Structure 1
Amino acid sequence: MKTKAGAPVLELKEFGEDGVFSGYGSVFGNTDSYGDIVMPGAFKRTLADHRRRKSMPKLFWQHDPGRPIGKWLSMEEDDTGLKVEGQLNMNVQQGREAYALLKAVDIDGLSIGYRVVKAEDDETEQVVRLKELQLVEVSVVSLGANDRALVSGVKSIREGGLPSLPEFEEFLREAGFPKSEATAIAGKGLSHLLRSESGGHSHGDSAAFAFHQEMARQLGVA
C-alpha cells in the first residue's frame, strides 16, 4: 500500500465534543514530491464499491492500522479532490488526543493510503498521472508533504525574499504547474532577478518587488 498527502483539515466543529471534522484526503491536479498527479475520477470506482458494500475506508492515525481513531462519515469527489467528513472516537485516548491537536491547529494534515489500479506515465512532463486508485484508508497526519513547497513559497513571497531557483521550481510544480512551465517561468523570470541582485544592479529591488506583488496577487496572498 502506498500513501500520499492530501490537504489540511478544513473544519473541526468549534466547541463540539462529537469530534466531527472535514477536509480533503486528496487534491486533484497537484504534482506531489514523488512526481504523481491524482486525476479527477480516480476514486469513482472505489467509492462506488464501498457504497455497494455499505462500508467506508478506515480512519487511522499516521497510517498506523494499529491506531484507528474514528470513522469516516462521507466521501465524495468534487472539483477540488476527495472531500471527506469524519468523526473521531472520543472514547479512546488516541481519538481525544487527535481532537485536541486538530483543535489547537498543532496538526492539520490528511493523507490517503491506496493501491494503484491504473496509471499513465507522462514522459513529456515527467510525471505519473494516477487515473484509478483503490482507497484503503485516509489518515490524520502531522505533516502533509504536498503543502511543504507551497507554504515555504508563499512565506518567502510574504516576507519579501526571493527563493532559490530549485525551490521556486518545486513551489510552482506543487502549485500545479507542469514541469515544462515551471522550468520556463523560473528560468526566464526568477533567474534574471537573482542575477540582478547578485550583480548589484540598481533595478534589482524594484524588479523583485514587482515579482513579489504579481506572485502574491496570483496566489491570493497579497
Structure 2
Amino acid sequence: MKGLLGLIRQTTPAIAGSGHPDTFFFSTAFTEQGIDATSLVPWEARANEVGARRLPAERGSKLLQALWSKDNYMARLGSDAVPRLEKFFDFATLPANRDVIRQDEYGNFMIVLLTGSIAVDREQPWGDRLHLTEARPGDILGEMSLLDSGVRFSVCTSLAECEIAVLGAQALDEMMTTDPALAASLIALLARKLSRRLRVVSARLGDHNS
C-alpha cells in the first residue's frame, strides 16, 4: 500500500513553467521497466480478439454513474465526476465466455463491469483453475496491472454478455494532464479498493492451502 501511495504522489503533473518534468506516465511505464512492447496487450487488441462491440457512451456513462453512486468508495468522487470521466473511458459490449483479462500477461487497461457477471480465477501450475470470486456490476478488474505495470494476477472470463467501461493507460495519462484533481482522486480510490480486494483474496488463498 505504501508503494501505491508513492505512485499516487508521482502522478501529479508538473506545474506549467516550473521546469520540472512529469515523473511518471502510465502509458510508458511498461517500457521503462524493460518490458518488450510486443508483450503488452492493449485494450484495442483484446477488444478485437474477443469480438467486443462499441457501446454508446451515453448508455455506458449512465450505467457507470448509477453504479458508482452506490459504491462506498467511488461515490466519494462526487456527482459531477462521471460526466467528467466519460471522455476518458471506452464503453463496450463483451460476448459471453470470453477471457477479457488473462493471467500472467501484461495489460495496460482496467475494466468496470456495468452489466452481467465475470468469473475471476487463478490458473494453477497443474492446469486447474481456482475460482476466486465472481465480479458483479460496479466491480473493477485489472486495475492492479494498470497501476503497477505488473503481470495480471488472474484470468477474468465473461459468464454472460456484459457491458463494460474500459480505462487505458494513455487515457489515464490524458486525465492526469487535463484534469489532475479527478485523476488523483480516482487513483487514490482505486488503490483503496484494490487493497481491500487483495486482503480478501489472500485470505481465500490461505484457506484453500490450509
Higher helix share: 2
Whether the TM-score (by the shorter chain) exceeds 0.5 is no
Higher strand share: 1
What TM-score results when the alignment is normalised by the length of structure 1? 0.22
The structure with the larger Rg is 1
TM-score (norm 2): 0.23
